[in-house]
Structure 1
Amino acid sequence: MAWLCTAGGAMVVVVLAGVASPQAYATGDDHEKRSAEVLQELVPSPEGPGCAAAVGVRGSVVWEAGRGKADLSTGRAITSKTVFDMASNSKQFTADAVLLLAGRRQLALSDPLSDFLDNPPAWTRNVTLGNLMRHTSGITDYQDLLEAKGIKLTDPAGQKEAIAAVLASQPEGPAGKRFSYSNSNYVLLAHVVERVAGKPFPAFIQQEFFTPLHLRMTLAPGVDVPGKAKSYDEKDGSFTPNSSPWKQYGDGSVQSSPGEFVRWADNYRTGRIGGKELLAGVTDGSVSVGDVLRPRGIEEGRYGAGILVLPDKSLVHRGDWEGFHSTFKVSPDRKTAVTVVCNVDSPDHFRAANQLLDIWTK
C-alpha cells in the first residue's frame, strides 16, 4: 500500500510495509464482548460520526473495531482500518526524534533554540530543546499568534507562517519556570530535527520510525490520505464537516488507524528504536503539569517526551484537531496499549480508553 504525503513542500509516495495479523487473546473469557460494549456505549448510534478503538498486547493487536460513519455524504462506515488524524498524539514521534538525535550526539536537550535558527531573536538563547519538549518554554501557541494576525483556521497557513509568528513574538514568561502546553514548542522541535538531520521532517519520521517498525502510518499535514475519515462538528444533533488548510507538523498530522498506533506503543516496552537511552529520555526530566490538563480529563501527572506520565507510571496523551479526538494510553508495565479515536467530539473517549485498558489488564 502507498500513501501520498508532503515532504518539504514536495509530494512523495510513501510505501507502507505489511504488518502482522492480529492474534487471538488466549484468555477464554469475555474480553472482546466487553470491549464491544464499551464502543457501543461510546457511539450509541451507528448512523452518525463515531469512533474506532484498538487494544495491543506486546505489539500485537488483540482487539479492534469501529462504529459510526467515516463519511456521512457517502455512508462509508468506520472500521478498524479507518485512518484518522491523531492530532497531538503525534507529538511523541517528534520528541522521540529529538531523543534519537541526542542519542547519536547530534544535539543535546540542553542546547539553546538559538543554535538552530538563522538570525535568532535574543530570547531564543534562553530556551533549551528540553524546555520545548516539556512545554516549559513560555512560548505562546502559534494558533493564537496566527489568529491574532487575522489568519483564521479556514485560511492557508503552514510551517513557515507558524514559525515566523512565534519568532516575531515574545514569550509569556521565562523558560523553565512552569508547564504551559503550547503547540509552538513541537513545531519548533520539528524544525530543529530538519536542521540537524538535513532532510524534511516527514521523511525523517518515516525513515526512522514508521518503516523499520512496519507501521502503516504517515505524517501528512493537510492531505486526505486513502481510507481517512471525515471529521465533523456537532450542534443540536446536526453535523457539519470540519477541515482546515493549515499544514503545520511536529505538533500533529500523523495519520493512522488505532491498531497501528497500539503496535507503535510496543516501542515503549522494547526500545527497538532508540534503545534504553531513548526509553529513559521519555520520562527523565519530566515536569509536573499541576491541574493544567484537568479540563482534558487528566487530574495530575508529569510531562515527559511528548507523553504524560501518570502517578501509576502509565503513559497517556490526548489529541484534538479539526473534529478529530484521540486518546492513547500504555499500561504501567508497558505490555498493553489502547487507542480510541473519533471523528466528532466525544466527551467519553478518554473514559472509554481507561475502560478498555482495565478490561485487558485485569
Structure 2
Amino acid sequence: MKRLVSLCTVGGAVVAVALTGVAHPQAYATGDDRGQRSAEVLQELVPSPDGPGCAAAVGSKGRVVWEAGRGKADLATGRAITSKTVFDMASNSKQFTADAVLLLAGRNQLALTDPLSDFLDDPPAWTRGVTLGDLMRHTSGIPDYQDLLEAKGIELTDPAGQKEAIAAILASRPEDPPGKRFSYSNSNYLLLAHVVERVTGRPFPTFLQQEFFTPLGLRMTLSPAVDVPGKATSYDEKDGSFLPNSSPWKQYGDGSVHTTPGEFVRWADNYRTGRIGGKQLLAGVTQGAVSVGDVLRQRGIEEGRYGAGILVLPDQSLVHRGDWEGFHSSFKVSPDRNTAVTVVCNVDTPDNFRAANQLMDIWAK
C-alpha cells in the first residue's frame, strides 16, 4: 500500500497528514456493462492518453463502485493519471466551508443572520449589513479578492495569502446591496473560513481535518499551494503545447482541498446520511437557497439555486464546479442522494461536466 503524505496546519504548526493512495474495489458484477460504458465516457473525454487528462469516480451510498483515470498526471516524468492520483478540487472545496458554518450554527456558536462585523477586530461600517448567510449564498455583493489583489498589482505569480486577501476585501465595499442579488465571489468563502477560525480558535485546515475528514475516514487535506505527494501537475494548453500552471497564492475557504475523485464521492454520502451535522445540517444545505439565474450557464450548469456551497438543480440534484490553476472538477449528487459522481482534470476539458452527467445516467437508479 503506497502512503502519500501531505502537509496540513494543526494548532499553528505544520504537520504530516497521511493520504493512503489505494484504489477502491470495483463493485459491479460480471456481466454488468456499466464499468465498460463508464470507461468509454472517460475515453471520449480524454481521447489521447499521452497528454494531460482526467480521473473520475462514481459512488453509491458511500461505496466507490467505479473509478478510473486516463492521461498523464505529469508530462515531465510520464506518470499516468490513475484512481490514486490526487487533485486540487478547487471551488468544490466550498461545500466543506459552508458545512463548517452550518455545523457551528447547529451548536449555537453562530447564526446565519449574524453580521460579518461580529467576527472582525476593526470592521468597516459596511460589514454590519452583510450576514453570514449572505456570504454563504453569494449575495453579499463583495467583489472577488482575486480582482482586488490584481488591482493592487499582486499577480497570480506573486506570493499572497489569507492576510493579504482579507485586507484587500475589507478595504473595498460591496458592489451591490447585500442580500439582493446572487454574484459568485471567492471572497465570501475566504471570509467564512475566517469566521470559523474566530469562533473555534482553531486553524481552518485543522477544523476540517478534525470535524469532517478524520471522523468520516476521508483521505483528504486542505493544503493551499503545497505540492502534495501523488498530486497531478496542472497545465494550460497554448498553441498545441501544454505549460505547467501553478500559483503561490495560499488562500483557503474558497478552495484547496486535495484528494482523489474516489474519496470525494465517499464524502458525498454525508448528504444522504447526515453523519456529520445530522438533520439540521442537511436541511441547511438547501434551506434559503437563492436563484443564480443563468450566470453559470456558460459553465455547463443549468439554472438552479445556490445553497450551502452547492448548487441545487430543479430536479434536486446537487452540483458544483471547481476551476483553479489548470484543475477543473465537476461534482454531482443524485436527487435521492444515493449516487455521486466526481470528474476532475489537470487541463481545461470543456466536456467534463457533460461526462459527469453521462456517468450519473449510467449509474443512478
AA aligned to 2:320 is: H
Tell me whether 168-177 or 20-29 shows the greater mean CA deviation: 20-29
SS in 1 for 2:133: helix
> In the TM superposition, what is the alpha-carbon distance from 1:298 to its structure 2 partner?
1.3
Match of 1:112 in 2: 115
> In the TM superposition, what is the alpha-carbon distance from 1:33 to its structure 2 partner?
0.4
| Counterpart Cα distance in 1 of 2:241 and 2:10 | 36
Contact preservation (8 Å) 2:55, 2:261? yes
SS in 1 for 2:309: coil
> In the TM superposition, what is the alpha-carbon distance from 1:17 to its structure 2 partner?
7.3
Match of 2:354 in 1: 351
SS in 2 for 1:328: strand
| Counterpart Cα distance in 2 of 1:235 and 1:301 | 33
Contact preservation (8 Å) 1:6, 1:221? no
| Counterpart Cα distance in 2 of 1:215 and 1:72 | 28
SS in 1 for 2:363: helix
Q: 1:18 to 1:270 in 2, by over 3 A?
A: farther
AA aligned to 1:322 is: E
SS in 2 for 1:4: strand
Matched, 1:206 2:209: yes
| Counterpart Cα distance in 1 of 2:22 and 2:51 | 30
- Which residue of 44, 48, 61 corresponds with 2:47? 44
Match of 1:67 in 2: 70
- Which residue of 239, 249, 262 corresponds with 1:236? 239
| Counterpart Cα distance in 2 of 1:131 and 1:8 | 29
| Counterpart Cα distance in 2 of 1:291 and 1:3 | 38
Match of 1:147 in 2: 150
Q: 1:171 to 1:8 in 2, by over 3 A?
A: farther
| Counterpart Cα distance in 2 of 1:292 and 1:152 | 26
Matched, 1:260 2:263: yes
- 1:272-293 Cα offsets, whole Å, 9 max, x none, are 0000000000000000000111
Q: 1:346 to 1:16 in 2, by over 3 A?
A: closer
| Counterpart Cα distance in 2 of 1:7 and 1:320 | 27
| Counterpart Cα distance in 2 of 1:257 and 1:111 | 35
AA aligned to 1:179 is: F
Contact preservation (8 Å) 1:233, 1:239? yes
Mapping of residues 3-152 of structure 1, within 5 Å: 3-7=6-10, 10-16=13-19, 21-26=24-29, 28-152=31-155
SS in 1 for 2:100: helix
SS in 2 for 1:54: strand
SS in 2 for 1:313: coil
- Which residue of 288, 293, 299 corresponds with 1:290? 293
Contact preservation (8 Å) 2:21, 2:84? no
> In the TM superposition, what is the alpha-carbon distance from 1:235 to its structure 2 partner?
1.5
| Counterpart Cα distance in 2 of 1:350 and 1:107 | 35
AA aligned to 1:145 is: L
> In the TM superposition, what is the alpha-carbon distance from 1:49 to its structure 2 partner?
0.2
> In the TM superposition, what is the alpha-carbon distance from 1:29 to its structure 2 partner?
2.3
Q: 1:209 to 1:113 in 2, by over 3 A?
A: same
| Counterpart Cα distance in 1 of 2:10 and 2:138 | 26
Match of 1:170 in 2: 173
Match of 1:274 in 2: 277
- 1:250-297 Cα offsets, whole Å, 9 max, x none, are 000000100000000000000000000000000000000001111111
AA aligned to 2:197 is: E
Contact preservation (8 Å) 2:9, 2:203? no
- Which residue of 322, 326, 330 corresponds with 1:323? 326
Structure 1 gaps of 5+ residues are none
| Counterpart Cα distance in 2 of 1:7 and 1:345 | 33
| Counterpart Cα distance in 2 of 1:81 and 1:17 | 9
| Counterpart Cα distance in 1 of 2:9 and 2:108 | 28
SS in 2 for 1:317: strand
- TM-score normalised per structure 2: 0.97
> In the TM superposition, what is the alpha-carbon distance from 1:83 to its structure 2 partner?
0.3
Q: Percent identity?
A: 86
> In the TM superposition, what is the alpha-carbon distance from 1:305 to its structure 2 partner?
0.1
SS in 2 for 1:80: coil
Alignment RMSD:
1.4
SS in 2 for 1:320: strand
